[in-house]
Amino acid sequence: MNGSKHDRAGRAEPATVRFSFTPAAAYVRAARLVAADVAAHAGVATGLLDEVRQAVGEACTRAVLRHRDRGIDELVRVEFSIGDRFVAKITDNAQDLRARSGGRVAAGMAGGERRANDHEAIEEDTLSEEITLIVLGGLVEDLVVTGPDAQGRTTVSMSWPLPGSGSSTDH
C-alpha cells in the first residue's frame, strides 16, 4: 500500500502507455487486453498476467459505472508505466460518493443502503461497483484508491513486480 514508488522509477523516465476512452461498456475489454499486453511486454510474470487483466478490467468497469451513475461523458483515463514495477492507474471523473479514500479496501458485500433502487439491472450495477472494489482488494497486493482530487477525480493505482532492475523491459 505504498504509492510512493509509483511515479518514478529508480532510473530513466519510465516507459509509458497512456490512453483514454469514452465511458462505455464496450471499451472495457480493449483496456484490459491492452493492460495484459503491455504488462507482458514489460516482463510481468506470466502467472500474474491474468491478475493484471482482471484488475485493470475491474478498475475500468468501476470507472465506467461511476460515470454512468452520474451521467458523466468525460473520458476514463488509463496509464501504464514501466519502471521498477509495472504500474496501472485508472482515473475517473466522477464526483466521489462511495470510494474509500486512501487505504486498502475492505468493503463488505451488504450494499444494503442502495437497495431502495428496485431496478434489477441498476441494482446489479450498484452491486458491481461494490464488488469491483472487493475483487481489487482481494486480487491486488499493491492497491491504492485515492480521491477525489480538486477536479473530483478518483484514481485506482495498482502495481506489480517486474524482474530485477534493468531486465524489466526487453526493448
The residue type found at 167 is S
Q: Report CA 34 to chain centroid distance, whole Å.
A: 13
Query: Least separation, in Å, of the C-beta of 166 and another protein?
Result: 32
Cβ-based burial of 170 (10 A; exposed 0-12, middle 13-18, buried ≥19): exposed
Answer for the pair 52, 88: CB distance below 8 angstroms, yes or no: yes
For another protein, give the closer residue by CB, 9 or 99: 99
* Chain residues in the site for another protein (CB under 8 A): 25-30, 50, 53-54, 57-58, 61, 64-65, 109, 120-121, 123-125, 127-128, 131-132, 134-135, 138-139
The residue type found at 77 is R
Query: Least separation, in Å, of the C-beta of 2 and another protein?
Result: 22
The residue type found at 125 is D
DSSP for residue 33 = H
For another protein, give the closer residue by CB, 133 or 144: 133
For another protein, give the closer residue by CB, 47 or 166: 47
Query: Least separation, in Å, of the C-beta of 126 and another protein?
Result: 8
List the one residue out of 137, 58, 48, 61 whose CA is nearest residue 100.
Answer: 137
Query: Least separation, in Å, of the C-beta of 111 and another protein?
Result: 10
For another protein, give the closer residue by CB, 75 or 131: 131
Query: Least separation, in Å, of the C-beta of 155 and another protein?
Result: 18
For another protein, give the closer residue by CB, 10 or 108: 108
Whole-angstrom CA distances from 109 to 76, 112, 119, 128, 154 are 26, 8, 19, 10, 21
